Structure 1
Amino acid sequence: MSQADSISAALAAAPVVPLVDSGDPDQAVATARALLEGGLAVQEVVLRRPGALDAMRSMAQRRADIGEGLIVGAGTVLTLEQAKAVHKAGAEFIVSPGLLDEIVHYCMDEGLPVFPGTATASEVQRAHALGLRAVKFFPASLAGGVPMLKALSSVFSAMRFMPTGGISAANLHEYLALPGVIACGGSWLTPREVIAAGDYDAVTGLAREAVAIARAARD
């Protein structure tokens, strides 16, 4: 099974991608384990702080310790150099806030699933022309939310979307009810204050809640 197929299968089972925002390897591993225990296998480590690359690398190297089925990706990838670095560090997919051709070309050449950010019809059309059939929709709530996704899906029927930005347990079901949405990403599953306090049981609880919402929306 290819990496893209593995990710698709995992997202079909639990279409939610939590964002792990940590520069501490041990903290990131503990967070990953808590999320996986809650049923979320596909996890995105965002490169927003010093040490994030090391945190992602640690998660990738300690998959066996964290739990079976974990898929580790890198988010907030802004440059080709970052894409190469996270790939070398073990990232199994890449997410960017915007659409940069050179990152897409690199990932496609390497067989590395990539989800560049799009917010307009022109960007989605550009992604389609590059050969992509799944993209991030960001920032979801500010870019038109569910109505915008309905409009884009009606035109780009071959495209699938991963909305991120402004999504929470309160509106998750609205996005996942759309046929064109493959998954939703979000940081509400990993609150900074909860992680800082080491309350990983709470993280597991948030993950389980998201899985339950997702199943109800898809049913």
Structure 2
Amino acid sequence: MENIKKNISKLQQNPISVIVRTKTFQNAQKILKNTIENGFVFAEITLTIPNAFELIKETKKKYPQIMIGAGTVLNLEEAKKAVQSGANYLVSPIYNKEILKWSLKEDKLYIPGVMTINEMYNVTKNGAKIFKLYPSTFLSPQTLKLIQQPFPQFKILATGGIDLNNIESYFKAGVLAVGITGQLGGISQIVDEEEIKKLSIKYINIMKKILKERGNYHIK
């Protein structure tokens, strides 16, 4: 479990990831370049992107220090192929028992998707060290805060609907990390690289503020 623990620790120290979901390989390349080169340490490449496995391989080779995730992983075959392509961690919008069992055996970080308290409890009971709340706007920050009172062991990656307007409220609710799609990684038409740079800097500045408030300002 050393690799899983190490990767969760890195996520805690760099708790904002960009989630790239575009219709073209080229747009995904541009978003990855401009987010990573402006401070993002975690980048999730969704498997809905054309030639996603090749993009994972290419991005990991270009930025070996960056934590590259494979997103929208729906089955064990995809999970194995993503890891072979260079993915450091795996993310699903759902919970797949096969992937979780395999990931624990192979010491690979797998973040299954949940929506309800029962799902949160069950994935944690079955061995998941962290789970993805998707879509995050399904539960308000106040509700999330209340859920964690009887379940302080929950480690939550909040994604779906997180933006500059609500990101701090989710951190204040106690989530471990958040993933950004819409404003950064979900651009499917023309990618304005200057705008991506500006937005990236804004998110990284928020991250620094959050880390200082947590008392673990260790961006690497």
Change (3 A) 1:11 1:205: farther
Q: What are the Cα deviations for residues 134-163 of structure 1, in whole angstroms up to 9, with x where unaligned?
A: 111111102x13133113211211111001
Between 1 and 2, higher relative CO (CA 8 Å, sep ≥ 6) is seen in 2
SS at match of 1:203: helix
Q: What are the Cα deviations for residues 75-131 of structure 1, in whole angstroms up to 9, with x where unaligned?
A: 011111111111111110000001111111111111110110111111111111112
SS at match of 1:163: strand
- Show structure 2 runs of 5+ residues with no match: 214-220
Q: Which residue of 1 aligns with 2:134?
A: 138
Does residue 179 of structure 2 align to residue 185 of structure 1? yes
Q: Is the Cα contact below 8 Å between 1:72 and 1:91 reproduced in 2?
A: yes
Q: For structure 1, which segment, 147-156 or 41-50, has the greater mean C-alpha deviation from structure 2 after superposition?
A: 147-156
Q: Is the Cα contact below 8 Å between 2:92 and 2:111 reproduced in 1?
A: yes
What TM-score do the two structures reach when normalised by structure 1?
0.86
Q: Is the Cα contact below 8 Å between 1:25 and 1:56 reproduced in 2?
A: no
Q: Is the Cα contact below 8 Å between 1:137 and 1:164 reproduced in 2?
A: yes
Which of 98, 104, 111 is matched with 2:107 structurally? 111
After superposition, residues 1-219 of structure 1 pair within 5 angstroms as 2-22=2-22, 27-64=27-64, 69-142=65-138, 144-179=139-174, 181-187=175-181, 188-192=183-187, 196-218=189-211, 219=213
**Aligned-residue offset at 1:164:** 0.6
Looking at structure 2, the residues matched to 131 and 198 of structure 1 have their Cα atoms a distance apart, in angstroms, of 39
SS at match of 1:85: helix
What TM-score do the two structures reach when normalised by structure 2?
0.86
- Show structure 1 runs of 5+ residues with no match: none
How many residue pairs get matched? 211
Task: Give the AA of the match of 2:10.
Answer: A
SS at match of 1:154: coil
Looking at structure 1, the residues matched to 193 and 4 of structure 2 have their Cα atoms a distance apart, in angstroms, of 29
Looking at structure 2, the residues matched to 206 and 82 of structure 1 have their Cα atoms a distance apart, in angstroms, of 31
Looking at structure 2, the residues matched to 165 and 191 of structure 1 have their Cα atoms a distance apart, in angstroms, of 11
Q: Is the Cα contact below 8 Å between 1:161 and 1:182 reproduced in 2?
A: yes
